[in-house]
Amino acid sequence: MTAITKKTETSIPSITTPQPRHGLSTQAVHAGERRPLPHHSLTLPIIQSSTYTFKDTADLRAFMEARLWGVKDGRIEYGRYGNPTVAAVEEKIAALDGGEDALLFASGMAAITTTLLSILRAGQHLIITDDTYRRTRQFCLTFLERLGIGCTVVPAGDLEALEAAILPGTRLIVSESPTNPYLRVIDLNCLVAIARRHGVKTLIDSTFVTPINQRPLEFGVDLVLHSATKYLGGHNDLLAGVVVGSQALISLIRDNLGVLGAVSDPQSAYLLQRGLKTLALRVQRQNATAQVVAEFLEGHPAIRRVWYPGLASHPDHEVARQQMQQFGGVVSFEIEGDLETTSRFIDAVTIPIIAPSLGGVESLIEQPALMSYYDHSSEEREAVGIQDNLVRFSIGVEDAEDIIADLTQALSGL
């Protein structure tokens, strides 16, 4: 076998992409698309291939040699290790979040589970907040604990409890911000200060606000996660997840993705990049409508309480003002009444559709007690903070006046 010798950096150049100082909407349209695109296409081509070819053995050897020495030239040999359409979307999202690299997955859950399995090992420990997505908590408290990885759940926003929960083996702090469904906002500056004091990494799920409203990496957070199924895709027609961070951390997770196999397919990646092009427009519209809706609901006698960071009544309003551009398109609120009263209200609205998701162009509404916790008793739901009269309203891009009129008629019948 012929010996492999290390080539100089100039013999196999790596591709580097400058980060232009453009606005987020401009980057959402253009980042990651290196022109001219193949065949001079205006839109990003879908490279529908499971494997990639080599001209001859010398071409193969050059590829393998480059990979041995860590020189990246953009080439791929097999679909589980990458795809040009997927790579372009990863570059676009990395630019939007201000990260060095991003990694796309088949779903948001694939993103969080692969990331946790990549960072943690037996004997170590992580901390999550109690308002984190219930499936994430379930994975941490059951699957990870079977692997010998400890997990402590602390109240969202209670940074003193969070710091007290740090153990010698703690390696990671995981939280959403804003959280689901009460939209609690974590003070990222304080969180990062605590984590760095103890040598702990941080991961923030920023699904609810997107890079348009909040960029946690700018506060020193190590990893940002999105369920790209939601706002990034924006049209309720794909499943995807993404993690953004430093090249070193993303490279570690990428190696494990190649083994675990929860890769994004090029069709979904194409739909995602198409949705990303209008991300800023959609989110700005949803921000504005959500603020109006939250203010309307807070003043209505049939509403007990509204949870929205854009309201002064929200417990984290001041923190949200300091670290977010706007406050997102989800409004949670409590009806004056019980489980059945709340169900009657949801059945009475005509614009929002009952469905378990958020972030798309269509307004969606749900009663978490039934949608996510149907198999729990009322007492069990209350113990985990889910009230029977709670409503989560994901606002789409419909006219704000129409949404207000619809809510008015639905509430008048209670």
Which active-site residues does the annotation give?
A: 80, 133, 205, 230
CA of 160: how far to CAs of 155, 172, 174, 253, 275, in Å? 10, 16, 15, 30, 39
Would you give the end-to-end CA distance of the chain in angstroms? 80
Query: For residues 62 and 81, what is the distance between their CA atoms, to the nearest angstrom?
Result: 18
The angle subtended at Cα 323 by Cα 192 and Cα 193, nearest 5°, is: 15
CA-wise closest residue to 411 among 346, 361, 366, 355: 346
Which positions ≥6 away from 25 have C-beta within 8 Å? 279, 280, 281
CA atoms lying within 13 Å on the CB side of residue 205: 30
| Residue 377 φ/ψ, nearest 5 degrees | -75, 165
Evaluate whether 169 touches 304 at the Cβ level (below 8 Å): no
Query: For residues 42 and 27, what is the distance between their CA atoms, to the nearest angstrom?
Result: 16
- Cβ neighbours of 255 (radius 10 Å): 11
Q: Please, where are the H alpha helices in 214-365? A: 247-260, 266-276, 279-298, 317-323, 339-348
Take residue 29 and report the two structure tokens written for it: 């349209």
Q: Which long-range contacts (CB under 8 A, 24 or more apart) does 153-157 make?
A: 153/127, 153/128, 153/129, 154/127, 154/128, 154/129, 154/130, 155/129, 155/130, 156/129, 156/130, 156/131, 156/132, 156/182, 156/184, 156/186, 157/129, 157/184, 157/185, 157/186, 157/187, 157/315, 157/316
Evaluate whether 407 touches 345 at the Cβ level (below 8 Å): no
- Strand (E) or helix (H) holding 392: strand 390-394
